[in-house]
Amino acid sequence: MSASIGYRRDDEGELWIESVPLRDIAQRFGTPCYVYSRHAIEVRWDAYREALRGRGSLCYAVKANGTLAILSLLAQRGAGFDIVSGGELARVLRAGGDPARIVFSGVGKTVKEIRRALLAGIRCFNVESAAELERIEGIAAESANPAPIALRINPDIDPQTHPYIATGLAQSKFGIALDEAEALYQHAAASPHLTVEGVAFHIGSQLLSVAPLREAAERTAALVRTLHERGITMGHVDVGGGLGVRYVDEEPPDPQNHIAAVAAPLSDLGVELLVEPGRAIVAEAGALLTRVEYLKQSAGRDLVIVDAGMNDYLRPALYDAAHRIEPLITRDDEPIRDREVVGPICESSDLFARHCPLAVAPGDVLAIRCTGAYGAAMASQYNGRPRAPEVLVDGAQAHLIRRRETIDDLMRGESVLVGG
Ligand SMILES: *Cc1c(COP(=O)(O)O)cnc(C)c1O
């Protein structure tokens, strides 16, 4: 049970992260609390880097987990970054990331965000529409420097994942249709304010097969060849992220498989590969610790009510995502029953597991596993709940990398009506 990098259960039934019992983390920092294994993040990063060696560079997708300490540990390992907003740009710069290794994705880049990114000297804008290309060209025309661009194309491929995280189908809001790309590239190549750096795609997330990624790379290779014939050369192909992880019993491909699948169709084009993994770097490194507040029987349901809610971890409510949930210390004085684990939020979708075999009593702490990606990053204060702290464990050391929010944090920036 629960063998994954950075975590182990000892002979007494106690769950550890690196050289620290998770019970110590819950005692010291309270619950709910996110905890990450530094070792697990670095092992995943190094596996990707090794798989890509000599063929390109990695741009970590900041939106998966943009906490400064995590960005800075990746920056220290020479990471590039994939950002989707001016806020993420500021985070990467604050964490010591190299602007020349930043690519900027997203369908709605504002004038302000484009200006800031251009000024910072990012590596490339991944452009998602003709209108955005025109906007970027206009902004670059006011400055001394041309804007480096790639078009994010939409290869029209079904990635076979949850519809909310599928992004590469023709009807999705992302990317530019393949048959429109050529004309836009010709425009960009002729503009003194734009430099054509490459082409990009990202077809979806939590992919459990590399076949759709290979197909996207094949379609992109065909476009690159056509453009080469027109005299427009590409320096890089950005193949996005999307590799799945094991939440329960999935069998995702590993980084080696991922890189091999996308590299093969592009290998004779003389382009650098950019890869933008997010989830695959940080998901399995993280756990959300939560305390059992109450046990409740309700119309035949065996409910475990915990102190974390969908404001802390949204994926189960948003995507019906399944997770392993385990006690920090196994107990044999209570029967194992099939239980539902629910949060305190006033929404019926605030539910972490529908069927979870658990022996628990009030006061026990549970670990919701594999929550390092799209966890803290998606947290909100809904229902008047301060956001949970984040702790990074490094061997026997536990570092508080984001403190728990206070009640004052909940109301920061607000004011009461004065004089009605
Ligand atoms: C979200 C996103 C990623 C990262 O996706 P993961 O599934 O977390 O690897 C990479 N590139 C782009 C453009 C994205 O939007």
pLDDT of residue 263: 97
Residue pLDDT, tens place only, 265-316: 999 999 999 999 999 999 999 999 999 999 999 888 999 999 999 999 999 9
- Phi, psi (degrees; rounded to nearest 5) at 368: -90, 110
Judged by phi (left if over 0) then psi (alpha if -120 to 50, else beta), residue 156 lies in left
Helix axes 68-76, 38-52, angle to 10 degrees: 40
Helix axes 178-190, 211-229, angle to 10 degrees: 40
pLDDT of residue 2: 41
Instruction: Please give the single-letter amino acid code of residue 239.
Output: V
pLDDT of residue 3: 55
Which residue out of 57, 58, 81, 105 has the highest number of ligand 1 atoms within 8 Å of its CB and is therefore the one to mutate?
105
Domains 7-37+283-411 and 105-277 share a fold: no
Which residue out of 82, 102, 275, 319 has the highest number of ligand 1 atoms within 8 Å of its CB and is therefore the one to mutate?
82
Alpha carbon distances (Å) from 215 to 112, 155, 202, 229, 266: 36, 9, 12, 22, 11
pLDDT of residue 53: 94
Ligand 1 centroid to residue 372 C-alpha, Å: 14
Q: What is the assigned CATH class of domain 105-277?
A: alpha beta
Which tokens is 172 given?
A: 């999705």
Ligand 1 centroid to residue 85 C-alpha, Å: 13
Catalytic residue (one of 33, 59, 124, 346): 346
pLDDT of residue 173: 84
- Residue 356 catalytic? no
Which ligand 1 atom is the nearest neighbour of the CA of 244?
Answer: 7
pLDDT of residue 171: 78
- Phi, psi (degrees; rounded to nearest 5) at 251: -120, 75
Residue pLDDT, tens place only, 131-152: 999 999 999 999 888 999 999 9
Residue nearest to atom 10 of ligand 1 (CA): 241
Return d(Cα 126, Cα 61) in angstroms, integer. 13
Which tokens is 382 given?
A: 């809904």
Which ligand 1 atom is the nearest neighbour of the CA of 277?
Answer: 9
| Stretches in the chain below the pLDDT threshold 70 | 1-3, 420
Residue 163 is classified by DSSP as: G
Which ligand 1 atom is the nearest neighbour of the CA of 152?
Answer: 13
pTM: 0.96
Ligand 1 centroid to residue 364 C-alpha, Å: 35
Residue pLDDT, tens place only, 224-259: 999 999 999 999 999 999 999 999 999 999 999 999
Which ligand 1 atom is the nearest neighbour of the CA of 167?
Answer: 15
Which ligand 1 atom is the nearest neighbour of the CA of 207?
Answer: 7
Ligand 1 centroid to residue 274 C-alpha, Å: 12
- Phi, psi (degrees; rounded to nearest 5) at 398: -115, 115
| Burial of residue 297 (number of CB atoms within 10 Å: 0-12, 13-18, 19+) | exposed
Residues having CB within 6 Å of any atom of ligand 1: 61, 63-64, 82, 105, 202, 205, 240-243, 276-280
Ligand 1 centroid to residue 415 C-alpha, Å: 37
Return d(Cα 274, Cα 97) in angstroms, integer. 16
Sign of CA dihedral 222, 227, 231, 233: negative
Which tokens is 225 given?
A: 């060849």
At the fourth CATH level, the homologous superfamily of domain 7-37+283-411 is Lyase, Ornithine Decarboxylase; Chain A, domain 1 (2.40.37.10)
pLDDT of residue 1: 39
pLDDT of residue 420: 66
Ligand 1 centroid to residue 205 C-alpha, Å: 7
Show the DSSP H helices in 53-146 as ranges: 68-76, 86-94, 111-120, 130-142
Ligand 1 centroid to residue 62 C-alpha, Å: 9
Domain edges within the chain = 7-37+283-411, 105-277
Which ligand 1 atom is the nearest neighbour of the CA of 373?
Answer: 8
